[in-house]
Protein backbone atom coordinates (compact mmCIF):
# COMPACT_ATOMS: atom_id res chain seq x y z
CA UNK A 1 0.00 0.00 0.00
CA UNK A 2 2.50 2.55 -1.28
CA UNK A 3 0.31 5.58 -0.84
CA UNK A 4 -0.35 4.78 2.83
CA UNK A 5 2.60 5.17 5.18
CA UNK A 6 3.48 6.19 8.72
CA UNK A 7 5.04 9.59 9.22
CA UNK A 8 6.06 10.34 12.81
CA UNK A 9 3.90 7.48 14.02
CA UNK A 10 0.75 8.69 12.23
CA UNK A 11 -0.68 6.84 9.26
CA UNK A 12 -0.99 9.06 6.20
CA UNK A 13 -2.72 8.71 2.87
CA UNK A 14 -0.57 10.65 0.44
CA UNK A 15 0.13 13.87 2.40
CA UNK A 16 -2.83 13.70 4.75
CA UNK A 17 -2.87 12.29 8.27
CA UNK A 18 -5.72 9.80 8.54
CA UNK A 19 -6.70 10.83 12.07
CA UNK A 20 -7.65 14.19 10.57
CA UNK A 21 -9.75 12.47 7.91
CA UNK A 22 -11.60 10.45 10.57
CA UNK A 23 -12.14 13.57 12.67
CA UNK A 24 -13.65 15.41 9.74
CA UNK A 25 -15.80 12.70 8.15
CA UNK A 26 -16.45 10.29 11.05
CA UNK A 27 -16.05 6.52 10.98
CA UNK A 28 -16.41 4.06 9.39
CA UNK A 29 -15.13 5.82 6.30
CA UNK A 30 -13.50 4.56 3.12
CA UNK A 31 -10.43 6.54 2.07
CA UNK A 32 -9.04 6.26 -1.47
CA UNK A 33 -5.77 7.57 -2.83
CA UNK A 34 -6.12 9.12 -6.26
CA UNK A 35 -2.42 8.66 -6.89
CA UNK A 36 -2.53 4.94 -6.08
CA UNK A 37 -5.47 4.38 -8.45
CA UNK A 38 -3.72 6.24 -11.24
CA UNK A 39 -0.44 4.42 -10.80
CA UNK A 40 -2.14 1.03 -10.75
CA UNK A 41 -4.01 1.82 -13.97
CA UNK A 42 -0.89 3.18 -15.67
CA UNK A 43 0.96 -0.05 -14.84
CA UNK A 44 -1.41 -1.77 -17.25
CA UNK A 45 -1.69 1.01 -19.81
CA UNK A 46 2.08 1.50 -20.10
CA UNK A 47 2.76 -2.21 -20.46
CA UNK A 48 0.38 -2.16 -23.43
CA UNK A 49 1.61 1.05 -25.04
CA UNK A 50 1.84 0.90 -28.82
CA UNK A 51 -0.50 -2.11 -29.02
CA UNK A 52 -4.08 -2.32 -30.18
CA UNK A 53 -5.24 -2.72 -26.58
CA UNK A 54 -7.74 -1.38 -24.08
CA UNK A 55 -7.74 -1.58 -20.30
CA UNK A 56 -11.38 -1.84 -19.25
CA UNK A 57 -11.54 -1.30 -15.49
CA UNK A 58 -14.05 -3.70 -13.90
CA UNK A 59 -16.53 -1.28 -12.40
CA UNK A 60 -17.87 -3.83 -9.90
CA UNK A 61 -14.66 -3.59 -7.86
CA UNK A 62 -15.35 0.02 -6.88
CA UNK A 63 -18.00 1.99 -8.72
CA UNK A 64 -17.74 5.34 -6.96
CA UNK A 65 -18.16 8.12 -9.55
CA UNK A 66 -14.94 9.82 -8.47
CA UNK A 67 -12.97 6.59 -8.95
CA UNK A 68 -14.52 6.09 -12.40
CA UNK A 69 -13.87 9.70 -13.32
CA UNK A 70 -10.19 9.54 -12.32
CA UNK A 71 -9.83 6.51 -14.61
CA UNK A 72 -11.91 8.00 -17.42
CA UNK A 73 -9.63 11.05 -17.44
CA UNK A 74 -6.70 8.69 -18.09
CA UNK A 75 -8.54 7.19 -21.07
CA UNK A 76 -9.57 3.93 -19.42
CA UNK A 77 -12.25 1.69 -20.82
CA UNK A 78 -14.76 0.00 -18.53
CA UNK A 79 -16.14 -3.48 -18.00
CA UNK A 80 -19.75 -3.32 -16.79
CA UNK A 81 -22.28 -5.92 -15.67
CA UNK A 82 -25.49 -3.92 -15.31
CA UNK A 83 -27.44 -0.93 -16.52
CA UNK A 84 -26.56 0.79 -13.27
CA UNK A 85 -22.86 0.41 -13.96
CA UNK A 86 -23.37 1.64 -17.54
CA UNK A 87 -25.06 4.82 -16.36
CA UNK A 88 -22.38 5.37 -13.71
CA UNK A 89 -19.62 5.13 -16.32
CA UNK A 90 -21.36 7.55 -18.66
CA UNK A 91 -22.01 9.99 -15.82
CA UNK A 92 -18.34 9.77 -14.82
CA UNK A 93 -17.22 10.72 -18.33
CA UNK A 94 -16.36 7.25 -19.64
CA UNK A 95 -16.78 6.79 -23.38
CA UNK A 96 -19.43 4.33 -24.55
CA UNK A 97 -17.13 3.09 -27.30
CA UNK A 98 -14.72 1.90 -24.61
CA UNK A 99 -17.28 -0.12 -22.63
CA UNK A 100 -17.59 -3.90 -22.68
CA UNK A 101 -20.68 -5.51 -21.17
CA UNK A 102 -20.14 -8.75 -19.22
CA UNK A 103 -22.44 -10.80 -16.98
CA UNK A 104 -24.59 -13.90 -17.32
CA UNK A 105 -28.05 -12.33 -17.22
CA UNK A 106 -28.27 -9.23 -19.39
CA UNK A 107 -31.87 -8.05 -19.59
CA UNK A 108 -33.52 -6.76 -22.76
CA UNK A 109 -33.80 -3.17 -21.49
CA UNK A 110 -30.10 -3.21 -20.52
CA UNK A 111 -29.08 -4.48 -23.96
CA UNK A 112 -31.26 -1.85 -25.60
CA UNK A 113 -29.69 1.00 -23.66
CA UNK A 114 -26.19 -0.33 -24.33
CA UNK A 115 -26.96 -0.42 -28.06
CA UNK A 116 -28.47 3.05 -27.93
CA UNK A 117 -25.31 4.58 -26.42
CA UNK A 118 -23.04 2.51 -28.66
CA UNK A 119 -20.90 0.34 -26.38
CA UNK A 120 -17.91 -1.47 -27.83
CA UNK A 121 -18.84 -5.10 -27.30
CA UNK A 122 -21.21 -7.50 -25.55
CA UNK A 123 -19.44 -10.39 -23.83
CA UNK A 124 -22.08 -13.05 -24.29
CA UNK A 125 -22.28 -15.88 -21.77
CA UNK A 126 -24.88 -18.34 -23.18
CA UNK A 127 -26.76 -19.33 -26.31
CA UNK A 128 -29.99 -17.95 -24.85
CA UNK A 129 -28.27 -14.63 -24.29
CA UNK A 130 -27.02 -14.64 -27.89
CA UNK A 131 -30.61 -15.03 -29.11
CA UNK A 132 -31.71 -12.18 -26.87
CA UNK A 133 -28.98 -9.80 -28.04
CA UNK A 134 -29.72 -10.69 -31.68
CA UNK A 135 -33.45 -10.08 -31.15
CA UNK A 136 -33.05 -6.79 -29.29
CA UNK A 137 -30.50 -5.53 -31.83
CA UNK A 138 -32.95 -6.46 -34.60
CA UNK A 139 -35.73 -4.50 -32.90
CA UNK A 140 -33.36 -1.52 -32.65
CA UNK A 141 -32.31 -2.02 -36.29
CA UNK A 142 -28.72 -2.33 -35.18
CA UNK A 143 -25.91 -4.85 -35.35
CA UNK A 144 -24.32 -5.67 -32.01
CA UNK A 145 -20.59 -6.38 -31.84
CA UNK A 146 -20.16 -9.48 -29.72
CA UNK A 147 -17.64 -11.80 -28.23
CA UNK A 148 -18.34 -14.99 -26.29
CA UNK A 149 -17.05 -15.53 -22.81
CA UNK A 150 -15.46 -18.92 -23.21
CA UNK A 151 -15.15 -21.05 -20.11
CA UNK A 152 -11.83 -22.82 -20.65
CA UNK A 153 -12.21 -25.24 -17.71
CA UNK A 154 -8.96 -24.33 -15.98
CA UNK A 155 -8.37 -24.24 -12.26
CA UNK A 156 -7.46 -20.70 -11.24
CA UNK A 157 -6.26 -21.93 -7.86
CA UNK A 158 -8.23 -19.28 -6.01
CA UNK A 159 -11.05 -19.33 -3.41
CA UNK A 160 -13.93 -21.52 -4.71
CA UNK A 161 -16.42 -18.61 -4.42
CA UNK A 162 -14.35 -16.46 -6.77
CA UNK A 163 -13.21 -19.08 -9.26
CA UNK A 164 -15.13 -18.71 -12.51
CA UNK A 165 -13.33 -20.69 -15.20
CA UNK A 166 -14.27 -24.25 -14.29
CA UNK A 167 -16.97 -26.12 -16.16
CA UNK A 168 -18.97 -26.35 -12.91
CA UNK A 169 -19.19 -22.54 -12.74
CA UNK A 170 -22.15 -20.64 -14.18
CA UNK A 171 -19.99 -18.39 -16.35
CA UNK A 172 -19.49 -18.42 -20.10
CA UNK A 173 -20.03 -21.04 -22.76
CA UNK A 174 -18.18 -24.35 -22.44
CA UNK A 175 -15.06 -24.41 -24.58
CA UNK A 176 -16.28 -27.72 -26.00
CA UNK A 177 -19.41 -26.00 -27.40
CA UNK A 178 -17.70 -22.83 -28.51
CA UNK A 179 -16.97 -23.70 -32.15
CA UNK A 180 -20.57 -24.64 -32.84
CA UNK A 181 -21.95 -21.54 -31.09
CA UNK A 182 -19.53 -19.15 -32.82
CA UNK A 183 -20.46 -20.60 -36.24
CA UNK A 184 -24.15 -20.24 -35.43
CA UNK A 185 -23.65 -16.62 -34.30
CA UNK A 186 -21.72 -15.87 -37.48
CA UNK A 187 -24.87 -16.61 -39.45
CA UNK A 188 -27.18 -14.32 -37.42
CA UNK A 189 -28.15 -11.02 -38.95
CA UNK A 190 -27.99 -8.65 -35.99
CA UNK A 191 -24.76 -9.64 -34.34
CA UNK A 192 -21.21 -9.26 -35.56
CA UNK A 193 -18.61 -11.59 -34.06
CA UNK A 194 -15.53 -9.57 -33.15
CA UNK A 195 -13.87 -11.16 -30.16
CA UNK A 196 -13.29 -13.89 -27.65
CA UNK A 197 -13.49 -13.34 -23.91
CA UNK A 198 -12.38 -15.25 -20.86
CA UNK A 199 -12.25 -14.56 -17.12
CA UNK A 200 -11.19 -17.48 -14.98
CA UNK A 201 -11.40 -16.04 -11.49
CA UNK A 202 -10.24 -13.36 -9.14
CA UNK A 203 -7.23 -12.87 -6.83
CA UNK A 204 -4.98 -15.10 -8.96
CA UNK A 205 -1.42 -15.10 -7.67
CA UNK A 206 0.23 -17.13 -10.43
CA UNK A 207 0.62 -16.54 -14.16
CA UNK A 208 0.25 -20.22 -15.09
CA UNK A 209 -3.58 -20.48 -15.00
CA UNK A 210 -3.85 -17.38 -17.22
CA UNK A 211 -1.46 -18.97 -19.69
CA UNK A 212 -3.34 -22.30 -19.66
CA UNK A 213 -6.53 -20.44 -20.48
CA UNK A 214 -4.81 -18.40 -23.20
CA UNK A 215 -3.39 -21.55 -24.81
CA UNK A 216 -6.87 -23.00 -25.04
CA UNK A 217 -8.33 -19.80 -26.46
CA UNK A 218 -5.67 -19.59 -29.15
CA UNK A 219 -6.41 -23.14 -30.31
CA UNK A 220 -10.04 -22.09 -30.62
CA UNK A 221 -9.17 -18.86 -32.46
CA UNK A 222 -7.29 -20.94 -35.06
CA UNK A 223 -10.08 -23.49 -35.42
CA UNK A 224 -12.59 -20.70 -35.96
CA UNK A 225 -10.39 -19.04 -38.57
CA UNK A 226 -10.45 -22.33 -40.51
CA UNK A 227 -14.25 -22.11 -40.41
CA UNK A 228 -14.21 -18.53 -41.67
CA UNK A 229 -14.95 -16.91 -38.29
CA UNK A 230 -12.38 -14.17 -37.66
CA UNK A 231 -11.59 -13.15 -34.09
CA UNK A 232 -10.25 -9.59 -33.95
CA UNK A 233 -9.62 -9.21 -30.24
CA UNK A 234 -9.02 -11.32 -27.16
CA UNK A 235 -10.45 -10.11 -23.86
CA UNK A 236 -8.53 -11.83 -21.08
CA UNK A 237 -10.75 -10.55 -18.28
CA UNK A 238 -9.45 -9.44 -14.93
CA UNK A 239 -8.32 -11.57 -12.04
CA UNK A 240 -4.78 -10.48 -11.26
CA UNK A 241 -4.33 -10.74 -7.49
CA UNK A 242 -2.93 -8.24 -5.02
CA UNK A 243 -0.94 -8.49 -1.82
CA UNK A 244 -3.29 -8.58 1.19
CA UNK A 245 -0.73 -10.08 3.52
CA UNK A 246 2.15 -12.10 2.08
CA UNK A 247 0.91 -13.00 -1.40
CA UNK A 248 3.34 -12.27 -4.23
CA UNK A 249 1.16 -11.93 -7.33
CA UNK A 250 2.83 -11.16 -10.65
CA UNK A 251 2.94 -7.49 -11.57
CA UNK A 252 0.75 -6.34 -14.46
CA UNK A 253 3.98 -5.83 -16.45
CA UNK A 254 5.07 -9.44 -15.89
CA UNK A 255 1.62 -10.80 -16.67
CA UNK A 256 1.18 -8.70 -19.81
CA UNK A 257 4.75 -9.53 -20.87
CA UNK A 258 3.93 -13.23 -20.71
CA UNK A 259 0.71 -12.70 -22.70
CA UNK A 260 2.48 -10.68 -25.40
CA UNK A 261 5.21 -13.28 -25.67
CA UNK A 262 2.66 -16.02 -26.21
CA UNK A 263 0.78 -13.99 -28.80
CA UNK A 264 3.95 -13.42 -30.79
CA UNK A 265 3.09 -11.70 -34.07
CA UNK A 266 -0.58 -12.63 -34.12
CA UNK A 267 -2.69 -9.67 -35.19
CA UNK A 268 -5.07 -9.75 -32.26
CA UNK A 269 -6.29 -6.75 -30.30
CA UNK A 270 -6.27 -7.10 -26.52
CA UNK A 271 -8.66 -6.14 -23.76
CA UNK A 272 -8.04 -6.57 -20.04
CA UNK A 273 -10.67 -6.13 -17.33
CA UNK A 274 -8.75 -5.57 -14.10
CA UNK A 275 -10.71 -4.58 -11.02
CA UNK A 276 -9.03 -5.55 -7.77
CA UNK A 277 -5.49 -4.87 -8.99
CA UNK A 278 -6.42 -1.26 -9.81
CA UNK A 279 -8.18 -0.28 -6.60
CA UNK A 280 -7.68 -2.77 -3.73
CA UNK A 281 -4.50 -1.27 -2.35
CA UNK A 282 -5.62 2.26 -3.15
CA UNK A 283 -8.08 2.25 -0.26
CA UNK A 284 -8.48 1.67 3.45
CA UNK A 285 -11.50 1.65 5.70
CA UNK A 286 -11.09 3.62 8.91
CA UNK A 287 -12.93 2.40 11.96
CA UNK A 288 -12.86 3.33 15.64
CA UNK A 289 -12.62 1.07 18.69
CA UNK A 290 -15.80 1.45 20.76
CA UNK A 291 -14.98 -0.93 23.60
CA UNK A 292 -12.44 -3.50 24.62
CA UNK A 293 -13.98 -6.62 26.09
CA UNK A 294 -11.29 -8.80 27.60
CA UNK A 295 -11.62 -12.00 29.60
CA UNK A 296 -9.19 -14.74 30.62
CA UNK A 297 -10.49 -16.65 27.66
CA UNK A 298 -10.68 -14.13 24.81
CA UNK A 299 -10.18 -10.48 23.91
CA UNK A 300 -12.59 -8.63 21.69
CA UNK A 301 -12.18 -5.14 20.27
CA UNK A 302 -15.65 -3.94 19.39
CA UNK A 303 -15.30 -1.51 16.52
CA UNK A 304 -17.77 0.71 14.70
CA UNK A 305 -17.15 -0.94 11.30
CA UNK A 306 -18.96 -4.20 10.67
CA UNK A 307 -19.72 -6.94 8.16
CA UNK A 308 -22.30 -4.67 6.54
CA UNK A 309 -19.50 -2.20 5.77
CA UNK A 310 -16.93 -4.76 4.61
CA UNK A 311 -18.15 -8.28 4.06
CA UNK A 312 -15.06 -9.99 2.63
CA UNK A 313 -13.79 -11.38 5.96
CA UNK A 314 -17.21 -12.85 6.83
CA UNK A 315 -18.02 -14.06 3.31
CA UNK A 316 -14.71 -15.56 2.16
CA UNK A 317 -12.76 -15.68 5.43
CA UNK A 318 -10.61 -13.11 3.61
CA UNK A 319 -7.65 -11.67 5.49
CA UNK A 320 -7.11 -7.92 5.40
CA UNK A 321 -4.46 -6.24 7.50
CA UNK A 322 -5.75 -4.05 10.32
CA UNK A 323 -3.29 -1.45 11.58
CA UNK A 324 -3.41 1.44 14.04
CA UNK A 325 -3.80 4.95 12.68
CA UNK A 326 -1.52 6.24 15.45
CA UNK A 327 1.30 4.09 16.79
CA UNK A 328 1.11 3.83 20.58
CA UNK A 329 4.35 4.14 22.54
CA UNK A 330 3.05 2.82 25.88
CA UNK A 331 1.12 -0.32 26.70
CA UNK A 332 1.34 -3.83 25.33
CA UNK A 333 -0.17 -5.70 22.45
CA UNK A 334 -2.85 -8.31 23.12
CA UNK A 335 -4.48 -10.72 20.73
CA UNK A 336 -7.92 -9.49 19.68
CA UNK A 337 -10.82 -10.49 17.52
CA UNK A 338 -12.03 -7.29 15.86
CA UNK A 339 -15.80 -7.47 15.78
CA UNK A 340 -18.55 -5.10 14.72
CA UNK A 341 -21.88 -4.21 16.31
CA UNK A 342 -23.96 -6.40 13.94
CA UNK A 343 -25.92 -9.23 15.56
CA UNK A 344 -24.11 -12.11 13.85
CA UNK A 345 -21.33 -14.31 15.17
CA UNK A 346 -19.81 -14.01 11.70
CA UNK A 347 -19.51 -10.24 12.11
CA UNK A 348 -15.76 -9.79 12.29
CA UNK A 349 -13.18 -7.88 10.30
CA UNK A 350 -10.18 -9.70 11.72
CA UNK A 351 -9.38 -12.54 14.08
CA UNK A 352 -6.43 -13.14 16.39
CA UNK A 353 -4.74 -9.83 15.64
CA UNK A 354 -1.94 -8.62 17.91
CA UNK A 355 -2.63 -4.97 18.62
CA UNK A 356 -1.88 -2.47 21.36
CA UNK A 357 -5.31 -0.89 21.76
CA UNK A 358 -7.38 1.48 23.88
CA UNK A 359 -11.05 2.38 23.46
CA UNK A 360 -11.31 5.30 21.05
CA UNK A 361 -8.34 4.24 18.92
CA UNK A 362 -8.61 4.50 15.17
CA UNK A 363 -7.77 1.50 12.98
CA UNK A 364 -7.26 1.20 9.25
CA UNK A 365 -8.50 -1.92 7.51
CA UNK A 366 -6.07 -2.20 4.62
CA UNK A 367 -6.58 -3.17 0.97
CA UNK A 368 -10.22 -2.11 1.20
CA UNK A 369 -10.45 -0.24 -2.11
CA UNK A 370 -11.83 -3.23 -4.02
CA UNK A 371 -15.02 -5.11 -3.18
CA UNK A 372 -15.35 -3.04 -0.04
CA UNK A 373 -17.95 -0.28 -0.14
CA UNK A 374 -19.60 -1.78 -3.24
CA UNK A 375 -20.51 -4.94 -1.32
CA UNK A 376 -21.75 -3.07 1.74
CA UNK A 377 -25.38 -3.26 2.88
CA UNK A 378 -27.81 -1.72 5.31
CA UNK A 379 -28.11 -4.85 7.45
CA UNK A 380 -29.18 -3.97 11.02
CA UNK A 381 -30.39 -0.65 9.52
CA UNK A 382 -26.87 0.70 9.53
CA UNK A 383 -26.18 3.60 7.21
CA UNK A 384 -23.54 2.90 4.61
CA UNK A 385 -20.20 4.57 5.24
CA UNK A 386 -18.90 7.76 3.68
CA UNK A 387 -16.25 7.56 0.95
CA UNK A 388 -13.52 10.15 0.53
CA UNK A 389 -10.70 10.60 -1.95
CA UNK A 390 -7.32 12.07 -1.12
CA UNK A 391 -5.46 14.08 -3.72
CA UNK A 392 -2.02 15.10 -2.37
CA UNK A 393 -2.85 17.08 0.76
CA UNK A 394 -6.53 17.60 0.02
CA UNK A 395 -9.45 15.34 0.73
CA UNK A 396 -12.85 15.29 -0.96
CA UNK A 397 -16.01 13.60 0.21
CA UNK A 398 -17.00 11.54 -2.83
CA UNK A 399 -20.01 9.87 -1.22
CA UNK A 400 -21.76 11.20 1.83
CA UNK A 401 -22.53 8.88 4.72
CA UNK A 402 -26.15 7.71 4.51
CA UNK A 403 -28.66 9.44 6.73
CA UNK A 404 -31.67 8.04 8.57
CA UNK A 405 -33.83 9.49 5.80
CA UNK A 406 -31.78 7.60 3.20
CA UNK A 407 -32.26 4.42 5.21
CA UNK A 408 -36.06 4.54 4.98
CA UNK A 409 -36.35 6.05 1.50
CA UNK A 410 -39.13 4.51 -0.56
CA UNK A 411 -40.65 2.58 2.34
CA UNK A 412 -44.31 3.06 3.26
CA UNK A 413 -46.69 1.49 5.74
CA UNK A 414 -49.97 -0.09 4.74
CA UNK A 415 -52.74 2.50 4.57
CA UNK A 416 -55.14 2.80 7.54
CA UNK A 417 -57.89 0.17 7.43
CA UNK A 418 -55.60 -2.59 6.09
Which residue numbers belong to the known binding site for substrate? 276, 312, 316, 344, 371
What are the angstrom distances between the C-alpha of 333 and each of 11, 75, 319, 338? 18, 46, 19, 14
d(CA 185, CA 208): 31
Nearer to ligand PLP, 58 or 386 (CB): 58
- Closest-CB residue for ligand LYS? 371
Residue from 96, 140, 162, 183 binding ligand LYS (CB under 6 A)? 162
Q: How many helices (H) and strands (E) does the chain have?
A: 12, 21
Catalytic-residue membership of 343: yes
Residue from 145, 153, 273, 309 binding ligand PLP (CB under 6 A)? 273
Closest separation in Å from C-beta 233 to ligand PLP: 15
Cis peptide before 28 (omega within 30 of 0): yes
Query: What string of DSSP letters covers 181-197?
Result: HHHHHHT-SSEEEEEEE
- From ligand LYS, ligand PLP, none, which one binds at residue 312 (CB under 5 to 8 Å depending on kind)? ligand LYS
**Per-residue string for binding with ligand PLP, 88-127, x by CB under 6 A?**
--------------x-------------------------
Nearer to ligand LYS, 60 or 120 (CB): 60
Residue from 27, 151, 202, 308 binding ligand LYS (CB under 6 A)? 202
- From ligand LYS, ligand PLP, none, which one binds at residue 182 (CB under 5 to 8 Å depending on kind)? none
For residues 376 and 332, is the Cβ–Cβ distance under 8 A? Answer: no
26: helix, strand or coil: coil
Strands 362-365 and 283-294: antiparallel
Nearer to ligand LYS, 203 or 277 (CB): 203
Closest separation in Å from C-beta 7 to ligand PLP: 30
61 touching ligand PLP, by CB under 6 A: yes
Name 201's bridge partners.
Answer: 163
Angle CA 55–67–15, to nearest 5: 115
- Closest C-alpha to 311, from 342, 272, 278: 342
337: helix, strand or coil: strand
Length of the chain: 418
For residues 171 and 158, is the Cβ–Cβ distance under 8 A? Answer: no
204, containing H or E segment: none
Binding-residue total with ligand LYS (CB under 6 A): 6
Nearer to ligand PLP, 102 or 287 (CB): 102
| Residue list 84-143, contact with ligand LYS (CB under 6 A) | none
238 touching ligand PLP, by CB under 6 A: yes
276 touching ligand PLP, by CB under 6 A: yes
Q: Of 56, 121, 343, 366, which one is the catalytic site residue?
A: 343
Closest separation in Å from C-beta 327 to ligand LYS: 29
Closest separation in Å from C-beta 175 to ligand PLP: 16
Residue from 149, 312, 353, 384 binding ligand LYS (CB under 6 A)? 312
379, containing H or E segment: none
d(CA 305, CA 327): 20
Residues within the interface to ligand PLP (CB under 6 A): 58, 61, 79, 102, 199, 202, 237-240, 273-277
Q: Report the catalytic residues.
A: 343
Amino acid sequence: MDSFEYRDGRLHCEDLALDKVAERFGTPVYVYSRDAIERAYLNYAQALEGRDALVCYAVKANSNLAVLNVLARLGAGFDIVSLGELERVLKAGGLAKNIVFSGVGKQAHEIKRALEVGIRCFNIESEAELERVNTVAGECQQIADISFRVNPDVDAGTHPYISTGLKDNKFGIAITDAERIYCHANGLSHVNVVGMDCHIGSQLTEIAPFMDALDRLLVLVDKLAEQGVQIHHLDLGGGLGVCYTDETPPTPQAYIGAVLEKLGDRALGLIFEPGRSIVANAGVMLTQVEFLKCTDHKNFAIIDGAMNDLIRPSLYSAYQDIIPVALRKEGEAKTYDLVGPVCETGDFLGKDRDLNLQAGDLLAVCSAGAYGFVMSSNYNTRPRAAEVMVDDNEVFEVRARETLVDLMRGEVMLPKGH
